[in-house]
Amino acid sequence: MGAQDGTLVEIDGLRKEFSSAGGSTIVLDDLNLSVARGESVAIMGPSGSGKSTLLHIIGALEQPTAGRVSVDGVDPFALKPNEVAAFRNRTIGFVFQDHALLPQCTAIENVLVPTLARKMADEGAGPTSALTPVECAMELLERVGLGNRCNSWPAELSGGERQRVAIARAMINRPRLLLCDEPTGNLDAATGHMIGKLFIDLQRAENVSLIVVTHNESFAPLFNRTLHLKAGRLANS
Ligand SMILES: Nc1ncnc2c1ncn2[C@@H]1O[C@H](COP(=O)(O)OP(=O)(O)O)[C@@H](O)[C@H]1O
Ligand SMILES: [Mg+2]
Nearest CA to 52 out of 162, 176, 191, 214 is that of 214
Nearest CA to 169 out of 205, 133, 197 is that of 133
Contact 29, 50 (CB under 8 A): no
Residue nearest to atom 9 of ligand 1 (CA): 53
Nearest CA to 57 out of 225, 211, 226 is that of 211
Q: Which ligand is nearest to the CA of 97?
A: 2
Q: What percent of the chain has pLDDT over 90?
A: 81
Strands 177-181 and 92-95: parallel
Pocket test for ligand 1, best of 14, 25, 29, 234 (most atoms within 8 A of CB): 25
CA 118 to ligand 1 center in whole angstroms: 30
pLDDT tens sequence across 61-85: 999 999 999 999 999 999 998 899 9
Question: Is this structure's pTM higher than 0.85?
Answer: yes
Residue nearest to atom 7 of ligand 1 (CA): 18
Which residues approach ligand 1 with their CB closer than 6 A?
18, 25, 27, 45, 47-53
- Cα separation of 193 and 211, whole Å? 16
pLDDT tens sequence across 132-145: 999 999 999 999 99
Domain boundaries defined on the chain:
7-236
Pocket test for ligand 1, best of 16, 53, 182, 213 (most atoms within 8 A of CB): 53
Q: Looking at the domain 7-236, which fold is it?
A: Rossmann fold (3.40.50)
Task: Please give the number of the atom of ligand 1 that sits closest to the Cα of 50.
Answer: 17
In the chain, the DSSP E strands lie at 7-20, 23-36, 40-44, 66-71, 92-95, 177-181, 209-213, 225-230, 233-236
pLDDT at 3: 39
Residue nearest to atom 26 of ligand 1 (CA): 48
CA 182 to ligand 2 center in whole angstroms: 7
Averaged confidence pLDDT in the chain: 91
Tell me the residue length of the chain. 237
Task: Please give the number of the atom of ligand 1 that sits closest to the Cα of 56.
Answer: 17
Cα-trace Rg, the chain = 18
pLDDT tens sequence across 151-207: 999 999 999 999 999 999 999 999 999 999 999 999 999 899 999 999 999 999 999
pLDDT at 50: 97
Q: Please say if the pLDDT value at position 35 is more than 90.
A: yes
Please state, in angstroms and as integers, the Cα–Cα distance from residue 125 to each residue in 90, 93, 94, 140, following that order.
9, 17, 20, 21
- Cα separation of 136 and 172, whole Å? 7
